[in-house]
């Protein structure tokens, strides 16, 4: 790529702005502005945990990203919807749109050599599973389908807060799989996003955040079909592995180069490159796994191991029973935890857990054919 032709985008993960972090966040912004981006995309979760989902958090996010001096495109994450000052999801979305001067929380951006699509969470209190599931409503998904179909002539880059099932990106077993809120529309029908990607090879990149991990993992960047999936870290204090990273994308009509900005020292490294004609993801970095005690991923999809029940494969890992979708080749949730040597058996399509205490738990498929449990059920739907 030549400097005269390429465009430059910054993709910033979960901001979680707190006044106490202002100096650190301002230093990060100066590092990023030095790269002379053409636009900035924010992957949601604007406010700090002390006041997530409030008008104040939206205003802080607006001020921070408008300070880059280039067009910026925000979207709504799960924590942007939890503010107590709003009684209904529609009120929270309307306030977010008002502060960010948007007519709706999702958008299509024309960058000439590519098209950008942002997707926003619009349901929190109404979610069927976990309230913190990043849920894309039917109206927005229909718009997404139509927008993708209308742009078959150029590469499409998609941006969402959480990753999608089937992307192969790292998810957190003890936190997001237990939610369940690891994927877009995790509890209901998460498969529809990867099905759309598979049917539309013009979708070349899909960025997400949500995990608060850095980029030093092989599965922080994955490829499925013609789409490269990219996890994006955080720039502030709310990192789960001590790394503070941002994505820097340079692209032209032939392909893209994807970089990491390390906010500890401002270093910019090239992670992967891809030319559309070859569709070969070229990795420029090799990472060694550094296991974490608290925030860990599930193992790869079992191949010949585990308990098979229909399309589900169940595998013990770290005292939990993890469910995998055999067709998707991906972990979908947690069936049981604190196993402590429990005996697992299957009768028909019912999973029975015989615990050492003598207690017996039965797990039957939910309405979507899963055994996963909602460990953080929506309190607004509990009667």
Q: Structural domain boundaries of the chain?
A: 7-283, 298-383
- Is the fold of 7-283 the same as that of 298-383? no
Number of CB atoms found within 10 A of residue 344's CB:
17
* Model pLDDT, residue 280: 97
For residues 108 and 118, give the distance between their C-alpha atoms in angstroms, rounded to a whole number. 7
Find where tokens 């990795």 sit. Answer: 283
90: left (phi over 0), alpha (psi -120 to 50) or beta: alpha
**Residue count (the chain):** 383
pLDDT of residue 383: 52
d(CA 230, CA 223): 9
State how far the Cα of 180 lies from the Cα of 146, in Å rounded to an integer: 28
122 and 136 Cβ atoms separated by less than 8 Å: yes
Q: Which residues of the chain have pLDDT under 70?
A: 1-4, 382-383
Which pLDDT value is given to residue 288?
Answer: 87
What pLDDT does residue 292 have? 81
Q: Is 362 exposed, middle or buried (0-12, 13-18, 19+ CB in 10 A)?
A: exposed
| 34 vs 248: CA distance, rounded Å | 12
Q: What is the pLDDT of residues 221-238, one digit of tens each?
A: 999 999 999 999 999 999
* Three-class SS state of 336: strand
> Is cis: bond before 180, omega within 30 of 0?
yes
Contacts of 65 (CB under 8 A, 6+ apart): 12, 40, 42, 72, 74
Domain 7-283 class, CATH top level: alpha beta
CATH node for 298-383? 2.40.10
DSSP states along 281-293: -EE---------S
Question: What does the alpha-carbon distance between residue 299 and residue 290 come to, in Å, rounded to a whole number?
Answer: 14
Confidence at residue 304, expressed as pLDDT on a 0 to 100 scale: 81
Average pLDDT, the chain: 95
CB atoms under 10 Å from CB of 55, counted, come to: 17
């Amino acid at each position: 790529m030549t400097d005269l032709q390429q465009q430059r985008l910054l993709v910033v993960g979960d901001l979680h702005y707190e006044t106490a972090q202002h100096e650190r966040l301002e230093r990060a912004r100066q590092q990023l502005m030095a790269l002379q981006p053409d636009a900035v995309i924010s992957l949601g979760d604007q406010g700090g945990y002390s006041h997530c989902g409030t008008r104040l958090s939206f205003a802080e996010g607006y001020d921070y990203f408008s300070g880059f001096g280039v067009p910026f495109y925000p979207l709504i994450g799960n924590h942007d919807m939890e503010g107590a000052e709003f009684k209904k999801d529609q009120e929270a979305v309307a306030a977010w749109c008002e502060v960010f001067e948007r007519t709706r929380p999702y958008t299509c951006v024309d960058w000439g050599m590519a098209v950008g699509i942002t997707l926003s969470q619009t349901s929190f209190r109404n979610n069927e599973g976990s309230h913190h599931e990043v849920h894309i409503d039917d109206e927005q998904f229909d718009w997404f389908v139509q927008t993708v179909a209308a742009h078959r002539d150029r590469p499409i880059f998609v941006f969402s807060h959480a990753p999608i099932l089937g992307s192969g990106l790292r998810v957190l077993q003890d936190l997001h799989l237990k939610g369940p809120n690891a994927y877009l529309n995790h509890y209901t029908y998460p498969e529809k996003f990867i099905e759309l990607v598979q049917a539309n090879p013009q979708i070349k990149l899909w960025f997400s955040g949500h995990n608060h991990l850095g980029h030093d993992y092989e599965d922080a960047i994955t490829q499925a079909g013609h789409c490269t999936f990219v996890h994006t870290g955080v720039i502030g204090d709310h990192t789960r592995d001590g790394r503070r990273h941002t994505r820097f994308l340079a692209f032209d009509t032939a392909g893209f180069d994807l970089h990491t900005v390390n906010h500890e020292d401002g270093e910019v490294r090239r992670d992967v490159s891809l030319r559309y004609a070859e569709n070969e993801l070229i990795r420029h970095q090799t990472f060694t796994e550094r296991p974490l005690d608290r925030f860990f991923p599930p193992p790869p999809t079992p191949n010949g191991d585990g308990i098979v029940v229909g399309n589900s494969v169940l595998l013990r890992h770290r005292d939990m029973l993890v469910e995998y979708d055999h067709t998707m080749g991906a972990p979908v949730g947690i069936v049981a935890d604190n196993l402590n040597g429990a005996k697992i058996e299957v009768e028909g399509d019912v999973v029975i857990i015989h615990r050492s205490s003598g207690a017996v738990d039965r797990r039957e498929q939910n309405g979507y054919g899963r055994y996963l449990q909602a460990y953080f059920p929506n309190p607004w739907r509990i009667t």
